[in-house]
Structure 1
C-alpha cells in the first residue's frame, strides 16, 4: 500500500523519481494509459481550482475514471466514521485523493483503515504534491536542480513546509525561507526538515526581510492567507510589510535568469505585483500545469506501485 500523505514518509530517491516523472509527464507521448480500468476517488472538503482539476485531469489523461465527492456527499456528514467509509470505498476505488484542510494525523487514521492508496491533496500543514510540481517546474526549466538556489518569501504555510521537505531530498539544492516573525514554519516541521536534510545548511529559514540572499535562481511567493482562512490577529497584515515580491526585489536578489514561482491563487498587489506575476520571468502558469503532471506521477506510483513505461 503506497499512501502519499507527507513527503517525510518517502525516501529521497522516491521524491526525486516523482519529480523526474512529473517532468516526463509533460510529454503526452511519455504517459500512456497506465490507469485504464482504474477508478480514482477525488474528495475535497473545501474549494479548489487547481488541485482538484489537476488530479481529475491527471486520472482521465492516464486512462482512468474519476469519482468526484463534495463536502456533503459522504455519510461522514451524518455520523459515519471515516474508517467505516473508506473500508467500503476501498471495494469501489483504486485510490482516494483527499483535501481535508485538517490535521495530518486524521488523514493517517483514514489511510490506516483503507485498503487503497490515500493521497494528500492538502492537509492543514502540508501540500506534498504542490512541492513535486514546484521542483518539476524548475527541473524542466533549468535541466538540473543541483547547485540551484530558491528564495521563498512569505508565510511558512503548507506549501512552504512541503517545499522544504522536498528540497531536503535533492542534493545540492539551496532553499532559503524568509518568513515574518510569528508566521514561519511550525517548529515540528522545521525539526522534520532538519532531520530529512541531515542538518544541511543548504536549507535555512530566517525572519529578516532586509537580509535577503543574493544569487537566487528562483523567487517563490504564496498567498499569505492560506485557503483564505483569516489569521488570529486582526493586524496580521502589518507583519508582512516588505514581503511583497516586486520587480525591485527580483532584481536585488537575482540576475537575468532568475524566475518567479507562485503556487496560486495570487492576491495581486498584496503578495506579488502584476508585472512580476505576468512578466516574462514568471513560471507560475507552467507551475500550475505541473500540478497536473505531478498528480499523474503520484497516481501512477501509488496505484501501480512503480512508474511504468508508456505503451
Structure 2
C-alpha cells in the first residue's frame, strides 16, 4: 500500500493480514445480504478493467461492482494496450497510474508480471487471475461459506480436481481460519504446487486445522463442502493427450456427495456437465454454485472498496 495515496494492492492472498482477510470476507457477506446498497465509496474514481483472457463472472463482477459503488470504468481487451508493440509492463503501469485509481487485471502471465504492475505508488492493482493464483475467487468462495454457514472457522472442505490457480488461492485462504480442514484430492501430476501446500499445511496446523493433499478418491472424509473446478483451466492446455483418463476418477457425482456426506457443493464456473461434475450435482439441491457466482460481484465490491482505502 502506498502511504501517500492509501491505495492497497491485492496480488495474492498472502498479501493480506488475517484482519484484512476476515474483513474482506465479512464485508462481502454484508454486501451479499443487501446491507450496504447505498455505499458509494468510488465516487469520482476511475477503474481500469484489463482482461487478456476470457471472463464472464470476474469481469462482470468488477465492472458492475465499480459502477454500483459510484465509480467509472474503462475496459481494455487483450489487444488494446501498447504492450503489444513492445512497451514494458512497468512503463504501461506507470502511465496508467497517472490516470486510473484502480486497475483490475487478468493476465496470461506469472504473478511477477502483476507485481510489476503494482510497482508504482498511485494506482491500486487487483489480480483478477494470474497463472498461479486467483485470489478474488477465494474471497468469493469464503464469502459464500460465511453467508451459508454463518462462519468459516471449523469448516471441512473436500476439493476434487486439478490443482489450479483457484485451488492455490483456496488453499492459502482457508488455512488462515481456525480449525478448518482442506482435503485436496488432485490427479497425479496435476496437484497444487508445494509452494502453496507446504506453508498452508503449517499455517493450518498452527491454528488447529489441517491441509492434506492426496492423488486418489479413496476413503473420502466426511466434510461440509465438496468443491470442484473445470478440468481445463481458462487459458491453459495440457500436453498429455490422454489427460482426461487421469481426471475421470475425480468427477464429482452423487456418489461423492454421499460418501463425503457433504450438504454443500461449490464450483467456480464455467462448468462442463458430465466432465468434472454431473448435471445432477451442479443443478441439484446441494449446489450453491450460482450463488457463489453472484458472490463474486459482492466480493468484488468489498475488494474495490478496500483497495481504494475507503474501508478498513
TM-score by length of structure 1 reads 0.94
Asked whether the 8 Å contact 2:51–2:105 carries over to 1, the reply is yes
Q: Distance in 1 between matches of 2:282 and 2:115?
A: 36
Q: CA deviation at 1:101?
A: 2.4
- Note if 1:42 corresponds to 2:36: no
Counterpart pick for 1:11 among 10, 13, 17:
17
1:279 and 2:287 aligned: no
Distance 1:4 1:192 in 2: 19
Matched, 1:291 2:296: yes
1:304 matches 2:312 = no
Are 2:269 and 1:269 equivalent residues in the alignment?
A: no
**Maintained 8 Å contact 1:177/1:205:** yes
**Conserved? CA contact 1:181–1:239, under 8 Å:** yes
Give the Cα–Cα distance (whole angstroms) in 2 for the partners of residues 223 and 37 of structure 1.
38
For residue 186 of structure 1, report the CA deviation from its aligned partner.
Answer: 1.2
- Answer yes or no: is 1:69 the counterpart of 2:83: no
Deviation per CA, 1:194-229: give whole Å up to 9, x if none: 354356651211112113112x11100100110052
Residues 43-65 of structure 1, C-alpha deviation per residue, up to 9 Å, x if partnerless? Answer: 00111111101110110111111
Task: Measure the CA separation in 2 of the matches of 1:237 and 1:157.
Answer: 16
What is the aligned partner in structure 1 of residue 116 from structure 2? 109
Cα displacement string for residues 126-170 of structure 1 (whole angstroms, at most 9, x for unaligned residues) = 000100100110110111122221110001100000001110111
- Segments of structure 2 that go 5 or more residues without pairing to the other structure are 2-7
Q: Deviations over 1:154-195 (max 9, x none)?
A: 011000000011101111221111111111011212233235
Partners of 1:269 and 1:114 in 2: CA distance: 47
Number of residues paired by the alignment?
A: 304
The 10-residue stretch of structure 1 (147-156 or 197-206) with the greater mean CA deviation from structure 2: 197-206
C-alpha distance in structure 2 between counterparts of 1:75 and 1:205, whole Å: 42
Q: Distance in 2 between matches of 1:110 and 1:192?
A: 26
Q: Secondary structure at the match of 2:212?
A: strand
C-alpha deviations, 1:29-77, integer Å up to 9, x for none? 4141111111110000111111101110110111111111011111111
How far did residue 26 of structure 1 move? Answer: 1.3
Residue of 232, 242, 250 corresponding to 1:235: 242
Which residue number in structure 1 is paired with residue 181 of structure 2? 174
Matches within 5 A, 1:1-311: 1=1, 2-31=8-37, 32-113=39-120, 115-197=122-204, 202-214=210-222, 216-227=223-234, 229-254=236-261, 258-304=263-309, 306-307=311-312
| DSSP 3-state at the match of 1:52 | helix
Off by >4 Å, runs of 4+ in structure 1: 198-201
1:99, distance to aligned residue in structure 2 (A): 0.3
